[in-house]
Structure 1
């Protein structure tokens, strides 16, 4: 099995699973990034989580700074990703890259955030034409607009509150940036840097229903090589749904 984008907290851990890991960073880079996040994180629970991840960090078998799966050697019966597909720069290229890594009859298991119940609530949903445009462009990095949209449109990340109808407000509409002018300047700098390097943001925004529609359109029009076999809806008071792609045998 191959797990994509585990960062410091893979869902499938060795030796319990026969699994290899792919990410944009190697182990040392991940630890360095986690330590940097800890320095400006305001949530004690998040800092504890990152420290625990540093202590249990796993070696990364394959890494590529732009997420190019062609750098992975071997074939796999199963590929798995958890909260990774929304970070991909080129969604079509990613899905076709997974297809090429799978054995015939293999499956790609995806856990993805449901925008209705997480900090993506105010982001616009991804459309078929958005995915096709990134593919035609041969996009290598998230565009500055996606970096700004992701950061400025964020709201709270408490699924129970979202399920209760309390969606909060976008950062750009409340006091978040006025109380943290340095953070706002950093966001602008990150958007500028996005012109020439990977900046980690959510570029693809879905609900289970919109995911089904977009993936069906991409498959039927020949942009991706494998269909979605199943989608499992978001459970009450949670923020993620589950999808399974299946490569023809």
Structure 2
């Protein structure tokens, strides 16, 4: 799939902003549908299956945060880019924790929105690579964008998948937050360093206690390969029970 194609749903109740987003997204080759409220947005998502949603947080009725929560609860991982008029770190972190893929604060450049959207879609759909990446019992299939741990499928957002993939391609290597922002998100905005922290926390939660993701204080994150010593000890313990 070409990144600049498919239907994008814009959920925005400010007409001037919605018109501007429609104009720039259309110029970039996307089909665009605009709705003003959360209930209408949910209906369009279910009926038309857009490739992505540009979602204002402060929409009437069901707000953007709740809309995203409902989508993820239904196991719908359509990429979501949040936009808001408030530069509120708590709100931004909550939005990302609920499965948002990116976040923009108004006023923003419509060109930046298009760029961010293309990056998110590249992450979501990927480029076929005909191989899997493995680290212990963790398997990431780059063709299908599926992840599994111990044979159990993991429900990852596009951003979580790419962040995990970036880490396991270089096991043991420590990446700074800025390096991860640049490589995974496509932009190295120091103010967004907490974005990395939130996604790391989400990965740890989904992978469980043996995730292998290590925090290097004052630097960043790494993922460690499984320890043979630990595995042998676990095997002996299991045999003695």
- Report the TM-score, using the length of structure 1 for normalisation: 0.27
Higher relative contact order (CA 8 A, sep 6+): 1
Whose radius of gyration is greater, 1 or 2?
Answer: 2
More strand by share: 2
